Amino acid sequence: MTVLPTNFVPEPLATSAAATVTLLAPTARFSLRVWPEDRARLSAALTLELPVTIGQRARGTAPDGTEALCVGPDEWILVAPDGAGPAIEAACGDAYCDAPHSLVALPDREVSVRIEGPKAAELLTLGCPRDLDALIAGQGRRTVFDGVSVILWRDAAQEFRLDVWRSFAPHVLALLETGCRELALD
């Protein structure tokens, strides 16, 4: 049984010839909710075009800019470098009167891991019932892993990020660690 860092210090958690799982450092993270008619105003505030198709992502123009993932018809996950939170809150706050919305800071709700390696996608099939071939690089999904709700970002063919609520992380990470070992045997 893997011992997971209870303090969630970023570090490699499991590695094998099949895949490597690394705990990532915290980032700024928000849930943004806004009705379609006010989306453009928020896009302007965030200097990125909030995507309208579920699963699509967009990134702000600045280097390390804010990244938005559409997870519902009026719902986006925003991710930005740690420390960028107050600026995002301020920018959206200025738009609130014109474009009412909900922006809730969630930097600590989830922890994130990177899953990469030659069998990264296959590793995810241990717990994710979705067709991962349909999740193309550069997209993301809200889905489940081993019965736990997660946000899954595909950054490259064999590179994923997985966000999971903090208290579920040990359960999810334990299976990823088991899978790293198992897949290396195939």
End-to-end CA distance of the chain: 21
Q: Is residue 94 within a helix (H) or strand (E), and if so which, with residue range?
A: helix 85-95
Give yes or no for a contact between 179 and 126, defined as CB atoms under 8 angstroms apart.
Answer: yes
Residue 5 has what DSSP assignment? Answer: -
Measured from the CB atom, the residue of 63 and 146 that comes closer to other proteins is 146
Tokens of 56: 């699509």
Measured from the CB atom, the residue of 44 and 71 that comes closer to other proteins is 71
Measured from the CB atom, the residue of 44 and 175 that comes closer to other proteins is 175
Q: To the nearest whole angstrom, how small is the minimum distance from the Cβ of residue 181 to other proteins?
A: 5
Tokens of 14: 């499991």
Give the interface with other proteins as residue ranges (CB under 8 A). 1, 6-8, 26, 31, 33, 35, 74, 96, 100-110, 122, 125-134, 146-148, 165-168, 170-171, 174-175, 178, 181-182, 185
Q: To the nearest whole angstrom, how small is the minimum distance from the Cβ of residue 35 to other proteins?
A: 7
Q: To the nearest whole angstrom, how small is the minimum distance from the Cβ of residue 63 to other proteins?
A: 26
Q: To the nearest whole angstrom, how small is the minimum distance from the Cβ of residue 140 to other proteins?
A: 18
Measured from the CB atom, the residue of 63 and 134 that comes closer to other proteins is 134
> Exposure string (b/e) for 63-88, b if CB count within 10 Å is 16 or more?
eebbbbbbbeeeebbbbbeeebbeeb
